[in-house]
Structure 1
Amino acid sequence: MDWSRFDAAFAECYSSDMGAPAKSVRLMVGLHYLKYAFNETDESVVARWVENPYWQYFCGYTHMQHVCPIHPTCMTKWRHRVGDARLAEMLAETIDLAVRQKHLPEKDLQRVIVDTTVQEKNITHPTDSKLLFRAIVKLAQAARREGITLRQTYVRVGKFGAIRAARYAHAKQFGRMQRENRRLKTYVGRLIRDIRRKAAGVSDKLAKLLELAERLICQQPQDKNKLYSLHEPDVRCIAKGKAHKRYEFGQKVSVATTNRGNWIVATMMVPGNPYDGHTLAGTLAAVETITGIAVA
């Protein structure tokens, strides 16, 4: 593998005269390769790296390390810093390595198969009562951080209201369930108004939370682009016609593979839930950018 390629690609993201000395590019790139190859999380790949000398050698270390040199959150910060365009270099190097090792003929890169799937987010199944109660908790916590004294937090009564709504739904007493949901909406609305009255200056984080809370209490069952999660507001409810899973909550992803061999040559996250045919042009352009070969 050509590790010097990553040094050149990520050079603009590093500074030699600012802050603490940065971790090596090979370490960060190697950890991400291992993460996706073995389907690990940021936390688990760092934990396994410490006890696996083969992984350490892959990341450029020649002696056994007993402590990982980074914290798992550093991987998230590093991804945000380098951006999506530079991260595509990892996939490009994988494809180039396969071509150099003669595992992938170049002619196979001229014909690809493009399809879309859903990348599910790590959220619970969204219900009105659950979302409204989470909004109550988050608003109360945000007000406490901002030093705002609320007339009432509604956390305790909101918890019991969410429990009652879930029990009524289980018993198919939907009228009573809707009554509890309306009560929870009232609590959220009171918190929003109380915070806006007492906040001298609203921070960006609190303003975003207030906007999401207002969007939550205003949305109707038949609305489009509904809010399904407060910490993942971009989540969409997508139906792909699967027999075992009627609806999936996440974001649409377009994937391109070679016609022969099924080598993944491009992936692209698609905002919203567009028609699959409308994602084709962007995915083919990404294939040509990554592989450097025009698709026939």
Structure 2
Amino acid sequence: MYRRSTPGQLSFENFYLPFGGKLSGENRWVKLAELIPWEEFEAQYAEQLSEGIGAPAKSFRMALGALIIKERLGTSDIETVEQIRENRYLQFFLGLSEYSDTAPFDASMLVHFRKRVKLELIGQINEAIIKQSDENDSSKQEGTTEPSDPTDEDNDDNEPPSPTNAGQLIVDASCTPCDIRYPTDLSLLNEAREQTERIIDLLYEQVREQVARKPRTYRRQARQQYLHIAKQRQTKHKALRKAVGQQLRYLKRNLAHIDRLIAVGASLAPLDEQLYRKLLVVSELFRQQQWMYQPRQHRIDDRIVSIAQPHIRPIVRGKAGTSVEFGAKIAISCVDGYVFLDHLDWNNFNESTDLPEQIERFKRRFGHYPASVHADQIYRTRANRKYCQERGIRLSGKPLGRPNQSQQADVQKQAQADAAVRNQVEGKFGVGKRRFSLARVMAKLAPTAETAIAVTLLVMNLEQLLRQSLFVFFAVVLSQQLRPLNRWQWHWRDPQAFLRVA
């Protein structure tokens, strides 16, 4: 059951503190709460919850706010709840009306929050926040513009200028690794064998009276054979292949035992949801490994690399140190320091095919095409070059063909400038993976992992907005100090300007 919150933004002056005092309007969490349009998306969040059945659910502001707090502080689910319980500003950020020393929810609720606040909803919130910021900036600029000279106005018979291309679009793709151990065929087969042994034990207890003897699994012998190879620092290919074949035969025997126990009368109903799900994954894993083992192949579509997280796929990157990463691949676009998540997929994809759609999304967001698109070499296909040329968009990098001797220096200089601009999106990936959690996504389910990735990009944009508001604050203070001077008579590089103010 979902109960809608009272309309209106909670004011920090009205937040009740039992020990006296009041909140500060300059606190970062107070400013952050003003940037997010909570009420605009509450109805969309409430659609997936019943209005009259079940216990009252937490509000949309509390769900999204808890995910933002967790990502911004870089804490675990349990530590996030403790931080909220101890900090009055965090409780105000969640929409509470007064401070309480008890936790507003259990740490396990964060899993449900990640399931309810879905990827599409976070994308809409991200665009709404950036759109609201652009409107505020444009309104401030209109309020500070000086009146124009009426002699410079155009004649009335002139038509209004048509919108032209403006701005820069920076695109790139990367992988967000998940929290799994490095998968090998031998370790996966050993784990699958152990899971089938657990299932055989549970099924045999149901038909102990019908089956005189428990099926033999040779688990000790299989374990010793696995450890004999796994503990070696360097393993020869022949010995490794032999060990993989042994584990495959043990797994095949166990799956046959499970089928016979079910035929006798055992039921899979007593198995919990996770164990039943693992049985399905193990069956598919055995099929894939058997298909690769016989013809000595090392590639198959939709390859399973984790039994607990079967949605994860290997993403071949070809970079030094990490030639293969295991997680979701994302394609983002960066505009004026803000990041947009354009494509997320657990399978590897060619990011160059997303460029036309990213350009069209840029037009829908800002009302015009970008003047230039900055991307790496994989995006510069002939189809993308033709697409950009038809719309008057300059694609970064060197043009096709050999330039003239007179133009070679200019082409080289432009290519270096484009590479410098593209460093911005590389920096965004660096911030997301070093400062935030893109380097290791801890969520275990596919929907919750997608939400965690989207929340990371949302928090990065909120950090950008906070820095801009802080820059505006210092600019106002500096302009008040420099008010006695003519604004055209000083420059920030001129040290004498500050001496003249003093």
Q: Deviations over 1:97-118 (max 9, x none)?
A: 4324439x9x999642221100
Partner of 1:91: 126
Partner of 1:171: 234
Distance 1:153 1:184, change over 3 A: same
- How far, CA to CA, are the matches of 1:194 and 1:212 in structure 2? 17
Match of 2:291 among 218, 229, 245: 218
- How far, CA to CA, are the matches of 1:80 and 1:208 in structure 2? 22
- How far, CA to CA, are the matches of 2:105 and 2:367 in structure 1? 37
* 1:98-137 correspondence to structure 2 within 5 Å: 98-102=133-137, 111-137=168-194
Distance 1:285 1:85, change over 3 A: farther
Distance 1:28 1:242, change over 3 A: same
Partner of 1:276: 351
TM-score normalized by structure 1? 0.83
Match of 1:256 among 319, 333, 343: 333
- Work out whether 1:188 is the aligned partner of 2:261: no
Partner of 1:162: 226
TM-score normalized by structure 2? 0.51
Distance 1:279 1:196, change over 3 A: farther
Distance 1:284 1:271, change over 3 A: farther
- Work out whether 1:230 is the aligned partner of 2:288: no
- How far, CA to CA, are the matches of 1:275 and 1:71 in structure 2? 41
1:128 Cα deviation from its structure 2 partner: 1.7
Partner of 1:245: 322
Q: Unpaired runs of 5+ in structure 2?
A: 1-35, 141-163, 208-213, 270-275, 371-502
- How far, CA to CA, are the matches of 1:154 and 1:286 in structure 2? 58
Q: Deviations over 1:194-215 (max 9, x none)?
A: 1122225657633344233333
- Work out whether 1:42 is the aligned partner of 2:77: yes
- How far, CA to CA, are the matches of 1:22 and 1:108 in structure 2? 46
Could you tell which deviates more after superposition, 132-141 or 117-126? 132-141
Match of 1:30 among 46, 53, 65: 65
**Partners of 1:238 and 1:249 within 8 A in 2:** yes
- How far, CA to CA, are the matches of 1:97 and 1:294 in structure 2? 18
SS at match of 2:304: coil
- How far, CA to CA, are the matches of 1:278 and 1:145 in structure 2? 49
- How far, CA to CA, are the matches of 1:161 and 1:185 in structure 2? 12
- How far, CA to CA, are the matches of 2:110 and 2:252 in structure 1? 38
Q: Unpaired runs of 5+ in structure 1?
A: none
Partner of 1:60: 95
Residue type of the partner of 1:27? M
Rg comparison, structure with higher value: 2
Distance 1:17 1:285, change over 3 A: farther
- How far, CA to CA, are the matches of 2:223 and 2:360 in structure 1? 49
**Partners of 1:95 and 1:265 within 8 A in 2:** no
* 1:131-146 correspondence to structure 2 within 5 Å: 131-145=188-202
**Partners of 2:327 and 2:346 within 8 A in 1:** no
- How far, CA to CA, are the matches of 1:288 and 1:266 in structure 2? 15
1:10 Cα deviation from its structure 2 partner: 1.1
- How far, CA to CA, are the matches of 2:39 and 2:135 in structure 1? 16
Q: Deviations over 1:236-275 (max 9, x none)?
A: 32232322322212221111111x3x21122431241121
**Partners of 1:148 and 1:198 within 8 A in 2:** no
Percent identical pairs in the alignment equals 22
**Partners of 2:81 and 2:107 within 8 A in 1:** yes
SS at match of 1:257: strand
**Partners of 1:119 and 1:250 within 8 A in 2:** yes
- Work out whether 1:151 is the aligned partner of 2:215: yes
Distance 1:271 1:128, change over 3 A: closer
SS at match of 1:264: strand
Q: Please give the root-mean-square deviation of Cα atoms over the aligned residues, in Å.
A: 3.2
Q: Deviations over 1:61-105 (max 9, x none)?
A: 2333333232333232333345332232332343234324439x9
Q: How many residues align?
A: 291
Distance 1:209 1:240, change over 3 A: closer
Partner of 1:80: 115
Q: Deviations over 1:135-165 (max 9, x none)?
A: 0122223444555676134543333222111
- How far, CA to CA, are the matches of 1:17 and 1:99 in structure 2? 39
- How far, CA to CA, are the matches of 1:271 and 1:235 in structure 2? 6
Distance 1:211 1:31, change over 3 A: same
SS at match of 1:219: helix
1:42 Cα deviation from its structure 2 partner: 3.4
